[in-house]
Amino acid sequence: ACAPFRRLHLCNKNMVKMDTNNDSKAKHNLLLDVCLAANYEAQSLINYREQYEVQYPSSVSTFTMCTMLARSFADIGDIVRGKDLYHGKKKRGQTETERDQLESKLKTIFGKIHKEVTSGAQTYYNDNGGNFFKLREDWWTANRETVWKALTCDDDKKLRDAKYFRPTCNISRDNEKTGTQAKKQCRCSDKPKGKKPRKGSDNVNIVPTYFDYVPQYLRWFEEWA
């Protein structure tokens, strides 16, 4: 699948420059760096809101921005989990792309985290040949709500009327029809109603999207379409 233009320019520069030499700093700053990348990406997209609404006239205007943010959110999740299909281009004089450099740093950081959490859980957190896929998946699941908050931080009130197109908020395990729309700032209410959320929606009280659970190539096909 060809990466959409939005992915080609995803704002992850600060993640590429992460310091992996200081063990403690690298582990604890990972969430900060991912959240900063999400916030920078959101600011770059929000500035093009009017352009997106012209480009996708069949969409209800208040839905478009949240959808674009959800797509970048999912791509950031794929980068963190080592699933990103886009590998970038090598700059002149470089032997690696920035994407390769970022993946190498993420492996190093998750390797340090792996050493701390494998006591008594060696089988569960197999290192997957140095890729740490399971650990990275769990890290994303635990922190996706925080990343979404960073992505939708809206000090300028530019997302005050932004809605997500699917009624995914407050879905109960027993009845999916109970879902409601995220109607403000691309966020669900932080006061969920009903019973426990279904599998894969532990943070759905804030995060309205499930794009990060959809394979990247399918999301890209849909985005190109």
Q: Which domains does the chain possess?
A: 5-159 (1.20.1310.20)
Q: Greater confidence, 196 or 170?
A: 170
DSSP state of 166: S
Closest CA to 117 of 149, 92, 139: 139
The span from the CA of 138 to the CA of 144, in Å, is: 10
Q: How far is CA 64 from the centre of its chain?
A: 17
Where does the pLDDT of residue 63 fall: very low under 50, low under 70, confident under 90, or very high at 90 and above? low
Q: Which two tokens stand for residue 136?
A: 């990275």
Q: Greater confidence, 208 or 192?
A: 208
134-153 burial, b at 16+ Cβ within 10 Å, e below that, comes to ebbeebbbebbbbbbbbbbe
Average pLDDT over residues 103-112: 92
Q: What is the pLDDT of residue 104?
A: 93
The span from the CA of 216 to the CA of 225, in Å, is: 14
The span from the CA of 208 to the CA of 49, in Å, is: 19
Q: Greater confidence, 219 or 184?
A: 219
The span from the CA of 208 to the CA of 165, in Å, is: 9
The span from the CA of 196 to the CA of 140, in Å, is: 20
pLDDT at residue 74 is higher than 50:
yes
Average pLDDT over residues 180-204: 64
Q: Which two tokens stand for residue 100?
A: 């390769």
pLDDT digits (tens, 9 = 90+) for 83-106: 999 988 777 777 888 889 999 999
Q: Which two tokens stand for residue 19?
A: 């310091």
pLDDT at residue 212 is higher than 80:
yes
The span from the CA of 101 to the CA of 12, in Å, is: 12
| DSSP bridge partners of 169 | 180
Average pLDDT over residues 190-207: 54
Where does the pLDDT of residue 205 fall: very low under 50, low under 70, confident under 90, or very high at 90 and above? low
Q: Greater confidence, 7 or 24?
A: 7
Residue 31: CB partners within 8 Å, gap ≥ 6?
143, 146, 147
pLDDT at residue 34 is higher than 50:
yes
| DSSP bridge partners of 187 | 184
Q: Which two tokens stand for residue 131?
A: 């890729």
- The C-alpha angle 28, 30, 36, rounded to 5 degrees, equals 120
The span from the CA of 148 to the CA of 131, in Å, is: 24
Average pLDDT over residues 135-152: 95
pLDDT at residue 78 is higher than 90:
yes
The span from the CA of 83 to the CA of 74, in Å, is: 10
Q: Which two tokens stand for residue 14?
A: 């600060």
pTM to 2 decimal places: 0.84
